[in-house]
Structure 1
Amino acid sequence: MPPTTRRPCSARPPASSAACRAAHPAAPDAVRPAPRPITAGDLQKFVLVADPQVSPDGRTILFTRRHTDDRHQTVSNLWIVEAPGGEPRQFSSGGKDAMGRWSPDGRQIAFLSGRQKPKSQIFLLPVGGGEARPLTQFPEGSIGEFKWSPDGTRLAVSFRPADPDFTEEARKRREEKGLSEPPRVIEEPLFRLDGDGYFNRQRHALFLVEVATGRTCRIFDRFRDGGFAFAWSPDGAELALAANLDPDAWKKPWRSRLYRFRLADARLTAVPGQADGSRSSVAWSPDGTRLAFAGVLGRDVLWGARNQDLHVVDLATGHTRNLTGGHDLCLEAAILSDCREVEWLSPVHWSPDGRHLFAEIRRAGVTNIGRFDAATGALQDLTDVKAGQVCLGNLSRDGRTFALRLGSPTRLDEIAAGSLARRRLELATVTGFNVPLFEGLALSEPETHFVTAADGTRVQLWMMRPPAVPRSRGKAASVAGKTPRGPAVLEIHGGPHAQYGACFFHEFQVLAAQGYTVFYANPRGSKGYGEAFCEAIKGDWGRHDWTDLQAVIAFMEGRPEVDPRRMAVMGGSYGGFMTNWIIGHTDRFAAAVTDRCVSNLVSMAGTSDAPILPDTYWAGNAWDRPETLWRQSPLRLFGKVATPTLIIHSEGDLRCNVEQAEQIYSCLQVRGVPTRFVRYPASTSHGLSRGGPADLRIHRLGQILDWLGRYLRPSGRPPAPPARARRRR
Structure 2
Amino acid sequence: MSDVKRAVTKEDIFNIQSITDPKWSPDGKGIIFVKTNLEKDKDTYISNLFYYDNTSEQVTQWTYGEQKDIQPIWSPKGDHLAFLSTRNKASQLFVIPLAGGEAKQVTNCTNGVSEFEWSPDGKRIAFQGALKPDESFDRKADEEQEPNETKPEVKVISRMKYKGDGAGILSEEYEQIGIIDLETEEIEHITKPGHDYGLLAWSPDGKCLMYTADEAENKDFSFDSDLVLYDLESKTSKIIETDKGFVTDGEWSPDGKKFAFVFHGQVYKNASHPDILVYDKESEETLNATKDLDFPVGDYMSGDILQGARMPGVQWGNEETFYFPVSEYGNVALYEGNDSGNIKQIWDGQQHIYGFDVRSDKVAATVATSTEPGELYVYELSQQEKQKLTKYHEEWLSQVKISEPEEFVYRSVDSWDVHGWLMKPIEFDETERYPLIYQVHGGPHAMYGNTFFHEMQWLASQGYVVAYINPRGSHSYHQEFVDAVRGDYGGNDYMDVMNGLDHLLEKYEFIDEQRLGLTGGSYGGFMTNWIVGHTDRFKAAVTQRSISNWISFYGVSDIGYYFSEWQIQADLRNIKKLWEHSPLAYVDEIETPLLIIHSEQDLRCPIEQAEQLFIALKRQEKDTEFVRIPEADHNLSRTGKPSLRLERLQHLLRWFEEKL
Distance 1:490 1:84 in 2: 47
Partner of 1:12: none
Q: In 1, are the aligned partners of 2:202 and 2:209 still within 8 Å (CA)?
A: yes
Distance 1:180 1:43 in 2: 41
Q: How much has 1:317 moved relative to structure 2?
A: 4.0
What aligned pairs does 1:280-429 form with structure 2 within 5 A after superposition? 280-297=248-265, 299-300=266-267, 302=269, 304-341=270-307, 347-352=313-318, 354-374=319-339, 376-385=340-349, 387-396=350-359, 399-421=360-382, 425-429=384-388
| More divergent stretch after superposition (182-191 vs 635-644) | 182-191
Cα pair distance change 1:619/1:335, threshold 3 Å: closer
Partner of 1:601: 550
Partner of 1:259: 228
Partner of 1:691: 639
Partner of 2:138: none
What aligned pairs does 1:123-522 form with structure 2 within 5 A after superposition? 123-139=94-110, 141-161=111-131, 172-175=146-149, 179-221=150-192, 224=195, 226=196, 228-254=198-224, 256-271=225-240, 273-297=241-265, 299-300=266-267, 302=269, 304-341=270-307, 347-352=313-318, 354-374=319-339, 376-385=340-349, 387-396=350-359, 399-421=360-382, 425-470=384-429, 482-522=430-470
The aligned amino acid for 2:392 is F
Question: Is 1:649 the counterpart of 2:614 in the alignment?
Answer: no
| Counterpart pick for 1:556 among 477, 487, 504 | 504
Q: How much has 1:51 moved relative to structure 2?
A: 1.0
Q: TM-score, normalised by structure 2?
A: 0.94
Distance 1:171 1:535 in 2: 51
| Counterpart pick for 1:541 among 489, 514, 528 | 489
Cα pair distance change 1:47/1:626, threshold 3 Å: same
Identical-pair percentage: 32
Distance 1:631 1:206 in 2: 45
The aligned amino acid for 1:115 is R
Q: How much has 1:229 moved relative to structure 2?
A: 4.0
Q: How much has 1:169 moved relative to structure 2?
A: 7.2
What aligned pairs does 1:96-107 form with structure 2 within 5 A after superposition? 96=67, 97-107=69-79
Bigger relative contact order, structure 1 or 2, given CA contacts below 8 A and separation 6+? 1
Q: How much has 1:78 moved relative to structure 2?
A: 0.7
SS at match of 2:610: helix
Q: In 1, are the aligned partners of 2:261 and 2:313 still within 8 Å (CA)?
A: no
Distance 1:614 1:690 in 2: 22
Q: How much has 1:289 moved relative to structure 2?
A: 2.6
SS at match of 2:65: coil
Q: How much has 1:290 moved relative to structure 2?
A: 2.2
SS at match of 2:578: helix
Q: How much has 1:93 moved relative to structure 2?
A: 1.1
Distance 1:68 1:87 in 2: 23
Paired residues, number: 652
Cα pair distance change 1:274/1:560, threshold 3 Å: closer
The aligned amino acid for 1:278 is F
Distance 2:544 2:304 in 1: 14
Cα pair distance change 1:708/1:307, threshold 3 Å: same
Q: In 2, are the aligned partners of 1:163 and 1:199 still within 8 Å (CA)?
A: no
Q: How much has 1:486 moved relative to structure 2?
A: 1.3
Q: How much has 1:546 moved relative to structure 2?
A: 0.9
Unaligned runs of 5+ in 1: 1-26, 471-481, 713-729
Q: How much has 1:639 moved relative to structure 2?
A: 1.8
| More divergent stretch after superposition (502-511 vs 323-332) | 323-332
SS at match of 2:296: coil
Distance 1:589 1:315 in 2: 58
Q: In 1, are the aligned partners of 2:203 and 2:210 still within 8 Å (CA)?
A: yes
Cα pair distance change 1:439/1:620, threshold 3 Å: closer
Distance 2:591 2:133 in 1: 46
Cα pair distance change 1:95/1:347, threshold 3 Å: farther
Q: How much has 1:346 moved relative to structure 2?
A: 5.0
Partner of 1:22: none
Partner of 2:47: 76
Distance 2:231 2:555 in 1: 40
Cα pair distance change 1:556/1:619, threshold 3 Å: closer
Cα pair distance change 1:109/1:467, threshold 3 Å: same
| More divergent stretch after superposition (215-224 vs 567-576) | 215-224
Cα pair distance change 1:222/1:311, threshold 3 Å: farther
SS at match of 1:639: helix
Q: How much has 1:98 moved relative to structure 2?
A: 1.1
Distance 2:591 2:568 in 1: 31
Q: How much has 1:341 moved relative to structure 2?
A: 4.7
Q: How much has 1:632 moved relative to structure 2?
A: 1.4
Cα pair distance change 1:164/1:672, threshold 3 Å: farther
What aligned pairs does 1:12-23 form with structure 2 within 5 A after superposition? none
Distance 2:617 2:369 in 1: 39
Distance 2:526 2:355 in 1: 32
The aligned amino acid for 2:336 is R
Partner of 1:718: none
Q: How much has 1:168 moved relative to structure 2?
A: 9.6
Q: How much has 1:45 moved relative to structure 2?
A: 2.0
Q: In 2, are the aligned partners of 1:334 and 1:344 still within 8 Å (CA)?
A: no
SS at match of 2:589: coil
What aligned pairs does 1:1-40 form with structure 2 within 5 A after superposition? 27=1, 32-40=2-10
Q: In 2, are the aligned partners of 1:339 and 1:505 still within 8 Å (CA)?
A: yes
Q: In 1, are the aligned partners of 2:91 and 2:114 still within 8 Å (CA)?
A: no
